Structure 1
C-alpha cells in the first residue's frame, strides 16, 4: 500500500519535472531538428543520468556533498557545456528549418549521439544530484526500508523517462511539428541565449 511519504516524494519530483530547463530545450530542439527517434534517444540519456543520481541518493550518500572539489569541477564543466550547447543552438538558428521527415537521411543525427548528448545534459547539471539527495534526506525517513527506497528510485527513473518521452511524442506530431518548425530559428536563438546566460550565471556563482 502506497504511503503518504511516497505521494509527497512523487509530487515534489513531478513538480521538478514540469519546470523547463536545459533538458527541455534539448528535447524540443532535437525533436524538431532531427525527429522523434533522436528525441527519444536523448530522453533515455537524460533518464539514465537521473538514474545515476537517484542510485547515489538511495545509497545514503552524495559524492557532490562530500567532495567540494568535485562539485566545483562539475559546475565548471556544466558551465562550459551549457555555453557550448547554447552556441550550437544560436548558430543553428541561422539555418532554415526543415521538417525531419523531409530531411535527407544523411542530415539526421545518429541516435547514439542523442543518447550521449542527453546523458551529458543531465549528468553535468550538479543541481540534479543535490535535488535527489535533498529529496531522500528531507522526505524519506531513515526507517524506510531498502526495498521501498528501491521502489522509489524505479518510480522516479520511470517518471523522468515517461515525461520526456511524452514530451517528444507531443512535439513529433505532424501538426505540432509544422507549427513549431516555422518558429524554430527563433526558438533556437532564444534557447541558445538562455543556455549561455545560464552558463554565465553558473560561473558567476563560483566567483
Structure 2
C-alpha cells in the first residue's frame, strides 16, 4: 500500500511542478536579472509557502474551505500581487541593465537572498490554487488509514521536491551559456511574462466581480 500510494502522490506532484506558472516566471527572471543568490532565495520562499499548504492539507483541515471569505480575500490579494509583479516585469524590461555574471548578483541591485525569499513566498502563498491543489492531492491519494509518520514523510518529500526543482531551474538559468543565450532577449521575455501575469490578474479579478 505504502509504495503505490507514495508513487501516485509523488508522480502527480512532480507533474504539477513541471507546469509553468507565476512561480516559474518569477524564478526565471530572478536568475537572469538578479543572479543565483536572489533566485535561490525565491526558490526557498516558494518551498516554504508550499510547505505551509502541505501542512494544512496533511493536517486534515483547510482554512480555505472553512472560510469562503478568506478564500475571496486571498484571490483579491493574488490578483493585486500578480498585477504588481507583472508591472515590475514590464518596467524592468524598459530599463535593460547588464546581466550578472554566472552565479553572481547584479552590481548595485537591491535584490539579494532575502528579497528573493520574500518575493517567492508571496508568489506561492497568495496563489489559492496551491492550497486547493494540495488539499485535493492529499484527499484523493492519501488513505484514511495512513499514519502520521507516513504523512510527515510525504510532506517532507513534497517540500524538498519543490525546493529541488526550483533550485535546479535557478542553477540552470544562471549558467554563463544560458545568460549569454537569453541575455539579449531578456527584455522581450520580461515584457511577455509581465503581460501574462497582468492578464492572469485581470482574469482572477473578473472572476470575483
Same fold (TM over 0.5): yes
Matched residue, 2:127: 125
Cα pair distance change 1:152/1:85, threshold 3 Å: same
1:171 and 1:110 map into 2 onto residues whose CA distance is 17
Deviation at 1:180, TM superposition (A): 1.1
Tell me how far apart the structure 1 counterparts of residues 173 and 105 of structure 2 sit (CA, whole Å): 17
**Cα separation, partners in 2 of 1:103 and 1:71, compared to 1, 3 Å:** closer
Aligned ranges 1:11-22 → 2 under 5 Å: 11-22=11-22
Pairs within 5 Å for 1:77-156: 77-101=77-101, 105-156=107-158
Where does structure 1 differ by over 6 angstroms across 4 or more consecutive aligned residues? none
Offset of residue 58 of structure 1: 0.8
Residue 110 of structure 1: CA displacement? 2.1
Are 2:71 and 2:128, in contact at CA under 8 Å, matched by a contact in 1? yes
Structure 1: distance between partners of 2:105 and 2:134? 39
Relative to the length of structure 2, the TM-score reads: 0.96
- Using structure 1 for the length normalisation, give the TM-score: 0.97
1:157 aligns with 2:159: yes
Count of residues paired in the alignment = 207
Question: How far did 1:111 drift?
Answer: 1.3
Q: How big is the alpha-carbon RMSD for the aligned residues of Structure 1 and Structure 2? A: 1.4
Q: Is the 8 A contact 1:90 1:189 kept in 2?
A: yes
Question: Which runs of no fewer than 5 residues in structure 2 stay unpaired?
Answer: none
Q: Distance in 1 between matches of 2:138 and 2:190?
A: 35
Contact 1:90 1:188 in 2 (8 A): yes
Asked if the contact 1:47/1:160 (under 8 Å) is kept, the reply is yes
**Whole-Å Cα distance in 2 between the matches of residues 29 and 104 of structure 1?**
12
Match of 1:3, SS state, is helix
**Structure-1 separation of matches of 2:185 and 2:52:** 35
